[in-house]
Each structure stands twice: as structure tokens, then as C-alpha cells.
Amino acid sequence: MKNLFTFTVIFFAMAQIGFAQGKSYYCPPCNNACDELVFDKPGKCPHCHMTLTDTKTDILNVKKMKIAFYLQDGVEVLDFAGPMEVFSYAGFEVFTVSKTKAPIKSQGILKIIPDYSIEDAPQADILAFFGGNASAASEDIQVTEWIKRQDKSLSYYFSVCTGVFILAKTGYLEGLTVTTFHESIESLRKQYPNLKVLDNVRFVDNGRIITTAGISAGIDGALHLVTKIKGAAMAKHIVEYMEYDKWKPGEGKIMD
């Protein structure tokens, strides 16, 4: 806290100097204290390392994206944890939802208490689905109906691995190009012949609906969605922070 206070004092002082001398530069919104700072020279923000811009974003009017992580019992741990890491650093409001509020077990190991059930979960901007026993959720009519109730106010759907089967049940994927876990490509094709299911692709972006390949590919899909919503500088900042220099931007299929 002491460091944060010192940092804030120094940069507010810098802000005043910059403001007095002429042209001002700002940090792109990143949910850190530096969102409020003003600099007198172009360059990188010394706090979050993003490139400064000459346009001030009114952060109070930047909508904080709400993303609901639907976690079924048996959900694959890295499927959701990779995207959770990414979206939380993008400043999204992340919460977990399950069929009920009873604890679930991820990967047969990790005991999780969901924030909400499908009965009381708030409206989200993004719904996210993950693999690992996804068939239980995809065959549950109450889960499908919950997704349909959210649809009208949703900005994006996001699925990792076999989480796509939960989404497919709604019918919203009909006619679209999608992807899934490598061992489930054939079964998705058979079960939903009206989908074009790609293999050997990290993610597929249909505009409103993004589906990714298996397990670790969720990280790349999440970085792609952050790039769409908050720009490449934010995605690059997250990649550097989480030391995921293996990331190759755009390593997926973006549909027209």
C-alpha cells in the first residue's frame, strides 16, 4: 500500500507538470491506478508498460465487461483457469455460475464453490463454457434454457474444448464454423452436421461466437477476445505479465 501511495503521489505530480506544459498523453484503460494519470511526453506507461495515447478515455464511461464462467461438475481445470487469468487482467468482471450453488469438483481434484446458480446469476455480457464432462451440461434442458434467457443482452459467446457442445444445444451455432478438442472433432461433426468443424486451428471467431480448440487453446482464444474488445496493446500487456511469450496473435481462423 505504501508503494502504491508513493507511486500515485509521484505520478499525480508528473501529471500536473505535463498538464501545465502543453500536449498530454494518457494510459489506455487497464484497471490500474495509471488509468487516471496524465503524462507530458509520449512513450510507455512506467506502471503498466502500455503505449501512451494522446486521447483520454473516460474510464467512468467504459463499460466493465461481465463474463459468466459456467462451470459444471468435472470441468477441466486449465480449460477455465487460463481464460480466467486473461480476462481478469483485462479488467473484466469474472464470476462463476453452475447448475446449483453446491460445490463442484474440477478435474476430480479442485473443490469449487460457484458464485451463482442458473437461478440467480446476473445478466452477463459474455457467457463462457468449458470442457470436462460437458455432456452433462449440454444434455440439461435447464442449462440450455438459461443460456437462451441470457441471449438477448449478450455481446459474446466463448467456448473452450468440448464446452462447444453446451453451446451447440441452443441451436445458435447452426451454419457456423467452429472448433473443439482434437479428440471430439468427429463426434461434433456427427452430432451437428450443419456445423463446419475445423481441426488444426487454435480458435474460430464468428464475430459474436468464439470457439477454441482443447484445454490450453482457451488462453489463446481469450487473448483474441480481449484484443477484439480492448485492443492489441491490452492483450500484449497481459501476455507479458503472465509470461506467455509463446503467444502468436491471430493464430486462429477469423470468419468474414
Which of 198, 215, 208, 216 has the alpha carbon at shortest distance from 252? 198
- Min dist CB 218 to a second copy, Å, is 9
- Min dist CB 30 to a second copy, Å, is 15
Residue 94 makes contact with a second copy by CB under 8 A: yes
Nine-digit cell string for 187: 463426434
Binding test (CB under 8 A) with a second copy, winner from 58, 120, 243, 256: 243
Which of residues 163 and 214 has its CB atom nearest to a second copy in the complex?
214
Contact mark string toward a second copy, 177..216, x via CB under 8 A: ----xx------------------------------xxxx
Binding test (CB under 8 A) with a second copy, winner from 4, 102, 241, 254: 241
- Min dist CB 187 to a second copy, Å, is 11
- Min dist CB 250 to a second copy, Å, is 15
Measured CA to CA, the distance from residue 96 to residue 205 in angstroms comes to 23
Binding test (CB under 8 A) with a second copy, winner from 78, 143, 209, 233: 78
Using CA atoms, how far residue 204 sits from 16, 161, 177, in Å, is 46, 12, 7
Cβ contact 157:125 at 8 Å = no
Residue 76 makes contact with a second copy by CB under 8 A: yes
Residue 246 makes contact with a second copy by CB under 8 A: yes
Q: Return phi, psi of residue 196, to 5°.
A: -95, 110
Measured CA to CA, the distance from residue 198 to residue 168 in angstroms comes to 15
Q: Which stretch binds a second copy (CB under 8 A): 52-60, 95-103, 140-148, 166-174?
A: 95-103
Q: Cell numbers 487473448 correspond to what residue?
A: 223
Binding test (CB under 8 A) with a second copy, winner from 4, 13, 102, 110: 110
C-alpha 200: how far from chain center: 22
Q: Label residue 6 exposed, middle or buried (CB < 10 Å: 0-12, 13-18, 19+).
A: exposed
Long-range CB pairs of 40-44, under 8 A, 24+ apart, other chains included:
40/14
Nine-digit cell string for 229: 474488445
Which residues are near a second copy by CB under 8 A? Answer: 76-78, 81-82, 84-85, 88, 94-96, 103, 107-115, 181-182, 213-217, 219, 241-244, 246
